[in-house]
Amino acid sequence: MPNVTTTSAPRLIALLLDEHDDTQQLVRHAEDVLDMAHPAAREVHALCVTRTRNPELAERLQRLPLGAIVCIVAADLREPVQAADFTRVLQRALEMHALDATDCVCAPAGALGEEVVARLAAGFDGCAFGRVQHLSFEAGGAQADRAVFGGRSTVRVRAASGPWFAALRTSRSGGALAAPATPPALEWREASSGPHDDTEIVMVPGDAARMPVETARVVVSGGRGMQGSEGFELLAQLAARFDATLGGSLPAVDAGWVPVTHQVGQSGKFVSPSVYLAVGISGTPQHLAGVSTTTRIVAINNDADADIFRIADVGIVADWSTFIPALIARVDACRSARTHAS
Ligand SMILES: Cc1cc2nc3c(=O)[nH]c(=O)nc-3n(C[C@H](O)[C@H](O)[C@H](O)COP(=O)(O)OP(=O)(O)OC[C@H]3O[C@@H](n4cnc5c(N)ncnc54)[C@H](O)[C@@H]3O)c2cc1C
């Protein structure tokens, strides 16, 4: 077990990791942690792990008021993404970073971030807070606010001794953060995610219809307007292209087009993906009660007056039976053009 001491000033360490190395998501998480650090006056360090060197990411991070940035390139990270790989890279990086008993380590919420912080907490004998909405610090330790009962209530968990590990749910809605007077120090490193252990549990490519909807990063959801299981087969094809999970409204579940374990809403599951694609769903309060307010909703509906358009971030007035096949064809064309270009 790595040694954890108390020597430096308390820090918040933002772990920047994403299944797809998405620059926007990585920067967004750094901003979330900075927002949280502000009242606590903690310095924020960013530890970023990507498969390839990403100068745009480094440049955008240097515009944020971070204490230090370490960009680690681990070209051998496996596909599909393995939390164990990220954990090995980050465990070594945190040891080099002299992780301190007063430090707090934050990954983005989601299946990858949550597993990585749980593994790291075990490795450093620290405190695992799990998925949190907010963290605060006081002389007696750290406290985390966690959503319970599908987001209808919040509990506050306190832990006296660190280091603390948490997966932070995105909550940021504020404007741009003040740029630092001088760009923070940036260090590039190369690392291996190995050695891989033959006995470890690994993720295998999943069937979109079977992956849990609660932890999905993208949910493609259908409603009564899908009119039958053929429509859902098309949604599954679209979901597979985005590594998304299928969801459905209550009428779609009642009709047997999607399993009840994937029902979203008041009497179903609460989901908080980055993007929720609602197809043929009218947008009743009972359905929307199951979608986080921080999620970006993209709605496809052939009725321009459908309630879903009142809340959707992106609204498309179209018949899904023409729009979805065209969207799939467009995604395939873009991907094949990119493959040929590289
Ligand atoms: C106590 C209680 C709990 C409930 N819990 C839940 C719950 O957990 N989850 C849930 O979803 N509901 C729940 N409901 C049911 C809820 O009230 C609604 O009946 C339900 O959400 C409506 O589902 P829908 O949007 O799929 O269907 P509809 O409201 O019928 O909407 C279908 C939409 O599809 C559109 N459409 C039709 N054809 C096309 C096309 N070709 N292309 C594009 N769009 C098209 C229509 O314009 C329409 O807007 C609950 C109700 C109660 C009373």
Cβ of 211 closer than 6 Å to ligand 1, yes or no, is no
* CATH 3.40.50.620-classified regions of the chain: 11-190
| Cα distance between residue 340 and residue 65, in whole Å | 39
Cβ of 224 closer than 6 Å to ligand 1, yes or no, is yes
- 185 has a pLDDT exceeding 80: yes
Contact present, 142 and 177 (Cβ < 8 Å): no
What pLDDT sits at residue 219? 96
Contact present, 302 and 225 (Cβ < 8 Å): yes
Instruction: Please tell me which residue, 98 or 4, carries the higher pLDDT value.
Output: 98
| Tokens matching residue 113 | 């971030």
HSE on the CB side for 240, CA within 13 Å? 12
- 232 has a pLDDT exceeding 90: yes
Nearest atom in ligand 1 to the alpha carbon of residue 266 is 8
Distance 110 CA to ligand 1 centre (A): 27
* CATH 3.40.50.1220-classified regions of the chain: 218-341
Average pLDDT, rounded, for the chain? 89
- 167 has a pLDDT exceeding 90: yes
Distance 277 CA to ligand 1 centre (A): 14
| Cα distance between residue 140 and residue 126, in whole Å | 16
- 172 has a pLDDT exceeding 90: no
| Tokens matching residue 76 | 């051998």
Superfamily of domain 218-341: TPP-binding domain (3.40.50.1220)
End-to-end CA distance of the chain: 42
Residues 236-248 pLDDT 10s: 999 999 889 999 9
Cβ of 262 closer than 6 Å to ligand 1, yes or no, is no
Dmax over Cα atoms in the chain, in whole Å?
A: 63
Instruction: Please tell me which residue, 41 or 129, carries the higher pLDDT value.
Output: 129
Cβ of 276 closer than 6 Å to ligand 1, yes or no, is no
Cβ of 221 closer than 6 Å to ligand 1, yes or no, is no
CA 300 from chain center: how many Å?
23
Distance 333 CA to ligand 1 centre (A): 32
Tell the burial category of 204 from Cβ atoms under 10 Å away from its Cβ (0-12, 13-18, 19+).
exposed
What pLDDT sits at residue 3? 44
CATH of 11-190, one of 3.40.50.620, 3.30.70.890, 3.10.100.10, 3.40.50.12280: 3.40.50.620
What pLDDT sits at residue 9? 58
